[in-house]
Structure 1
Amino acid sequence: MANWPKISIVTCTYNGERVIEDYFKYIFSQDYPKNKIELIVADGGSSDRTLDIIEKYRKKYPKIIKFMHNPRQYSMGKGMGMDLATRKAKGEFIVQLGQDNLLVQNDWLKNMIKILIENPKITGVQSRLFIPKNASMTDKYVNAIGIEDPYAIPYSLTAQVAFYPKKFKYDKKGDFFIYRIDKDNFYYAGDNGFVIRRKEFLETGGYTQDIDNFYRMAESGKRYFIAVPRDIRLYHKTTTSLEHMVKKRVFYIGHYLIKNYGERDFYWMDFKRISFMRNLKFLLTVAHNFLFIPGVFQGLRMALKEKKGYWLIHPVMLWVITMAYIYAFFYAKIGKKQTKADI
């Protein structure tokens, strides 16, 4: 393709020295034309080497990298990092990447953008995740289910494609699954390698949080279609161990309850704000995870299907993360404070 469109890659950083060097290396190894890339980096006040690494790449690519300070530290929520940064985007397409998202396929950007160019009815494209051979068991599992939060599997588009691909229409020519965003059959995406047309992004209210963005689309009554390519993948270098993952999830639940609850569009459970059926789905998910046996059958089915041993930890992960969330709930509600966690 001779004339690739201008794109805006948007990333929020905070104490990401563990991953940010690799993040930049993979970004600038992409075969997408550099003069068509705008990279907006919003930092939430990092106290490690993150800012030094960002500055090194800013000096090397001054026309590409635009740096801004995120005064509220966090990426998710109205008026926070991702919301502020995406509003400065000038590209035709907005690419949402986390600081721990590594574009290990050097044609990732071209392949994601190509789907949107060739399919004007597609609103956004959600990447799947790559599983490195040398990653920890926890990291392999998280990338296999397509989402960092095992509890959210019943709600996550990428997780549902991983577990139940036949639920979705499949475009053979483009080699991607298609999901029409639907309030009655609701799944969300929008993080860890999500590309969306800037026009549709702005008309649906911009960014507050991935699940909120999708819920607004569902409530709008308009027809929004999301493509999930079968083999376009990035590596979400999210955890170093099970303990690390649990601490991060407990931290995020505390943030959600204490600082990011009042101005939401989607609520996981709230008897005053949402329907009985949505509250019931949440409670049934808790029961499913605690019963353990359903998770055993799910994990065993996937292990036999893909011949990968990491699927066998699935029931343990569901049980552990649910227990962690119960702890986080009471810690936040009673203590009125968040736990700490390394990124």
Structure 2
Amino acid sequence: MTQRPDIPLPPPKERRRLREAGALTQAQVAAQVGVARETVRAWESGRTTPSGRKGEAYARLLESLTTPSAEPYEEPAAPRTAAGRTGRHRQPSAVATAEAPEPSDVLTPAQAFDALYAFCAPALVRQTYLLSGRRELARESVERAFQTAWQRWPEVAVDPDPASWVRATAYEYALSPWHRFRPRYRHPEPPPADAADRALLDVLLTLPPSYRRTLLLHDGVGLGLPETAAETEASTPATANRLLHAREAVAARLPGLADPAALHRRLAEVASAERLRAPRPPTVRLGSERRARFWTRAAIAFTVTIIGATALTVRTAPTRYEPPVPPGETVQGIPPRVAPGTLSDKELKLRKKLRSGTAHGPQRLLPESR
């Protein structure tokens, strides 16, 4: 029997709605209540029911969110651990990212984009580095993903989870097989300085791209299995199978990382060891606008070229129909030409007579006197 808190709790779906209405993430709620992020997720899904002092704190938080004057909860300055907890270790997570708040109606599109960029880009660069093993490609992937997001901002701004939209775009770009044909990516980059970091990164890069992405999303970012399946566009059983095989491959070469919590912590440490910085938001927006102008002008130039070639073809094309050359006809009295072969005796005698009777030199133009 679990004790119910003094303050009644709303249904699970209402708990999540109140949290999202207050612009809070599961990690922020977990930090204030003093539990793990997975516990808050279980409370919102209805799998478990909060009880005791934690349940009372959770109920008071939800009650404060129901009042119109409640201020949005700001995450405390204490950093989270790789598992999403605040407590003894006090280790920040460089891999996991919280849910991005939806852009407010009072913000301009540029301000909303800059807020999303500042919220997601630093951790997303580190995640993409673990996914690709290349520092420059990680920065380029994140920059290209946000450039695409700015070009399609009306669609991204109304997305329920814009951070996942940008993350999926960055992952797709980083895992593109066409990078192997680029001259700058044909040679490997210097590995991490620490031997343990090199070993973990080597294991990750030996996994198939789909397994590597599933492992990073679930054990690195901290998404649930359904969310990971949705982002990788796979079924939940297939995602679970990929996750199990990826964990087995990592544990076979690094037995100390058989525990998912230990693997989560090591992924955060490897990502934090690299000094990866994303460009500033105005630079990304200007680059996106320049790319849009370039491709627009290229499309216009291509269209004008096609129109000009069509006009030239119409101008130089014949205006009347020219009948083809008719085939040859047989002339009476001349035998048809036979297939090449040896000459008959009659033909040989005729050729000899013609050759002997032909004059050579200037005199051949004069008529013979009879």
TM-score normalised over the length of structure 1: 0.24
TM-score normalised over the length of structure 2: 0.23
Higher RCO (C-alpha under 8 Å, 6+ residues apart)? 1
More helix by share: 2
More strand by share: 1
Choose 1 or 2 for highest CA Rg: 2
